Structure 1
């Protein structure tokens, strides 16, 4: 009996292929839909992502808890997406640094006990916080180009970039583990030179970098096709005690229905809230777009007028005039759901997603409030790391710190026992010598 049925569109999302590719696979017999055009997940285990889902250790990973209070410091904290997820995993945040005023107000309003440092990161002296004995340093540093004057850049050569500030914090705090988050484009930025420079600097700072990986949010109970690159480094003196493992996927792909309606993710429908509106002309155009559709689905005359010169350019441009579907994960949220090319229209009502709907797509809890203008709130949410993704990753970081804690402690006990035995042996020998002399 089939345990999970998925649609063709959802299959394409899981496998990161186009609908056209799915059609080709049907023709050549690589996949076989049922009579209603859907698929049994268990029948598709010849695809690695689906085999990964079916054999996932998600439930076991969710049971991981810290064996002591692990202390964290977060940089570029934004509105708290990464921080909430790490908090749910069991981390105790000692300091959060953020420059944006509204984001700082959001953090303070929701977590009055958090120590939020509202300051340009270049002016923060991290040695002031070294007494915390930081277990984890985290943050999503913006990707910036470096100047490649020599053959290999070192720590001092990337001054003036925000990565330098992140690296400086590592150098001054010497955390056991660090977590860096970025756009997937960093993988190939400047033909891979930027990432290679980052790797060499991390090595110079005394850390071993786990091979960076792009995590797709849809695999971690997030109803959104968001992809983020994560970099994890472990201090060299502790690396031998660890065996880091990236989080396994959840057994089900969440859709926009899971975000906005009562169900597996939330125990009630999405509460009402304020949001942006379309101008009258655009409202009339968007009314013609079906759920899951975009400008391509408009009548030909409307299509040409709405797209203008872009109509004749190459590429699908499928993000333009896009209406979401309840049956699929949301497109990656942007900082503005009403602008052309970044539309995120409600599946049934002709309007952009509201603030609370936006927050739910990012898996923020309903009681997490955002401070600032409507546009500022959209921006804060759109820039955040999805909470459930951060939570899944946080569990694995806790597992690594547990490994360090257990093995370092065991190692110390073994050394102590050896020293005690050596002292006992020396004492016994001295006693024997004295006895034989007498």
Structure 2
């Protein structure tokens, strides 16, 4: 089964499908820094360009088109502008290619707020557009802590569309699984990392507040502009694209060597990336934080991809 990916980022959705046994043959990404990381880990064709410049004839015939179109237009961080925001228009670029290529399956990931944006009208437009192309859709909001065995609180909506009604009928949505991984599996609190990740009195004007509030070594914290918030669920808070840039969403930990923010590698771990996933050594850490925050939880993608593959195989067997 061949897959083409759009809004690929560093290739998280592609990785989940690859781990499930699919053949990734083509991808598209506009961000040049994300493309560098992508190329460190994949050898198939990557077109680095705006999707609006991609012609359908440029995309190979595939069984599945996947993509997580930019979520800023539908998230609180994007001020909920939706289709009024030019980034919201990007969905229709993806829809154009889906309509022209007519793949057997479509797979879309986005922020949970996509469901409620504009009183549900945004999601209604997306759903009706894809259904008008002949796709049978199902969608569900899944949290990585419940469905990916990853200790991060990350709720995302997954939209899966099948051209063939029998494929749709044969698909079974994944069920919750036990979370047995903890933040201790993601972070080594006894290991010294580079000095640049630590907060100190001479480098941080609100260090006194951090020192007063960050007292436990088994959880994560966030600096919320004026106060520290402890994550009492012992999960990593939702990783965001503005991590590492001084933003208020930087996850913090108290280690044996002091208070510090997560490293890029740790952020990728909290997205379920394997240790052998390569992060470019010379790339600015701010780009790597952005790439991790913009990405997906790979184990959730893999589980969904495995169930998609099972449904397609079942249909093919029924047709013999």
The TM-score by the shorter chain falls in which range?
0.7 to 0.9
3-state SS of the aligned residue for 1:346? strand
RMSD: 2.8
In the alignment, what sits opposite 1:287?
A: 211
In the alignment, what sits opposite 1:23?
A: none
In the alignment, what sits opposite 1:346?
A: 253
**How many angstroms apart in 2 are the aligned matches of 1:93 and 1:100?**
19
In the alignment, what sits opposite 2:285?
A: 374
3-state SS of the aligned residue for 2:268? helix
Q: Is the 8 A contact 1:78 1:383 kept in 2?
A: yes
**How many angstroms apart in 1 are the aligned matches of 2:66 and 2:150?**
21
How much has 1:248 moved relative to structure 2? 1.9
3-state SS of the aligned residue for 2:170? coil
Quick one: structure 1 residues 221 and 324, their matched pair in 2 at CA, closer, same or farther if it must change by over 3 Å? same
Are 2:41 and 1:110 equivalent residues in the alignment?
yes
Quick one: structure 1 residues 294 and 72, their matched pair in 2 at CA, closer, same or farther if it must change by over 3 Å? closer
3-state SS of the aligned residue for 2:83? coil
How much has 1:407 moved relative to structure 2? 2.5
Q: Is the 8 A contact 1:283 1:350 kept in 2?
A: no
In the alignment, what sits opposite 1:79?
A: 10
Q: Is the 8 A contact 2:245 2:286 kept in 1?
A: no
> What TM-score do the two structures reach when normalised by structure 1?
0.62
Q: Deviations over 1:331-381 (max 9, x none)?
A: 111221463531310143301011111111112112212232110000001
How much has 1:129 moved relative to structure 2? 2.9
Q: Which of 155, 177, 184 is the equivalent residue of 1:250?
A: 177
Q: Is the 8 A contact 1:85 1:394 kept in 2?
A: yes
> What TM-score do the two structures reach when normalised by structure 2?
0.84
**How many angstroms apart in 2 are the aligned matches of 1:138 and 1:275?**
37
**How many angstroms apart in 2 are the aligned matches of 1:224 and 1:395?**
22
**How many angstroms apart in 1 are the aligned matches of 2:228 and 2:207?**
10
In the alignment, what sits opposite 1:15?
A: none
In the alignment, what sits opposite 2:76?
A: none
Report the structure number with the largest CA radius of gyration: 1
Give the number of aligned pairs.
297
Q: Deviations over 1:121-140 (max 9, x none)?
A: 0111122334x3x1111000
Are 2:313 and 1:406 equivalent residues in the alignment?
no
Q: Is the 8 A contact 1:324 1:346 kept in 2?
A: no
**How many angstroms apart in 1 are the aligned matches of 2:272 and 2:284?**
21
How much has 1:284 moved relative to structure 2? 3.1
In the alignment, what sits opposite 1:146?
A: 83
Report which of the two has the higher share of helix: 1
Q: Is the 8 A contact 2:28 2:49 kept in 1?
A: yes
